[in-house]
Amino acid sequence: MASSKRAWRTLLLSLAILGERSGGREPALHYTPEQLDCAHFRETSRGSVETYTAGRARQESVGLDGEWRFRAKPGRADSVQVEAWFDSLSVWRRTAEANLEPDTDPLIGGRYRGVVSRDGRYRADARPFVPDDIAEVADLSRALDDLLPRLPTQSLPIGGTWTDGAGLEIRRLAGSAGIDSVLQFSFTLRRDTREGALRGDSTPIRLHQTTREDGTFAWHIRGGLLRRQRHITIETEIPPEPRVQRPVRARVEQNVLLERLVGECTSASPDR
């Protein structure tokens, strides 16, 4: 914990050297190639899974520790073309019956390629192959899809809010970690889904899934994303049907922390 705080202070101080003070202006936020090229992030995730089938409960705990590397260049219409990969990674799933902790070496360096819009919407163009033993623990083929936070499409004063009209609300907070060029935001996301797919079967099934997400993120007005913290709750109900013999209820709770790290630019991981 102490080393994490020291690294956080070092990052803020290094960005402060670059920084321009806001001077009362309300800056508009957007992603740029300069922010993401050579970016280095640590992702930490801890979660619990409770599943109820035919009156029987099953409990699991899951976790992920990984470090991301990014390369970026300008895309069309002010978008950013990104290439990202895990520089290090461990994942696990623990149940009463077994502890699964697969070897992640086959995924290390596997490239995620896509486009990030100015406000953080991600479109994947290529995903790395995820071996079955890793996929059984974590669906990492879509690990980059929502790694980066969405941004408001307009400047926000302190206390101001923005919504995308589809369940996401972002609020600007007071406080700036002692540095004017660091802005703080909170966000909430609410989403209902009525259709999904079983693993290994692309045919949709009926279900009711509710996603609730709350969190915060810190943004440097020149350097971009510094930190994102999320608490995610997903509740799912699947009624009986030919492919699901008995009703299923599941609840997932997850805490995810993404922190920017200070480090040298690298592309040493082999292109895959």
Kind plus residue range of the DSSP H or E element containing 91:
strand 80-95
Q: pLDDT by residue (tens digit) across 2-61?
A: 555 555 555 555 554 444 444 445 678 999 999 999 999 999 999 999 998 877 888 999
Contact 80, 125 (CB under 8 A): no
Count of CB atoms situated within 10 Å of the CB of 224: 19
With bands split at pLDDT 50, 70 and 90, how would you rate the model's confidence at 179? low
- When computed from its CA atoms, the radius of gyration of the chain, rounded to whole angstroms, is 20
Q: Where are the domains of the chain?
A: 2-260
Look at residue 10 and give its three-state secondary structure.
helix
User: What predicted TM-score, i.e. pTM, was given to this entire model?
Assistant: 0.84
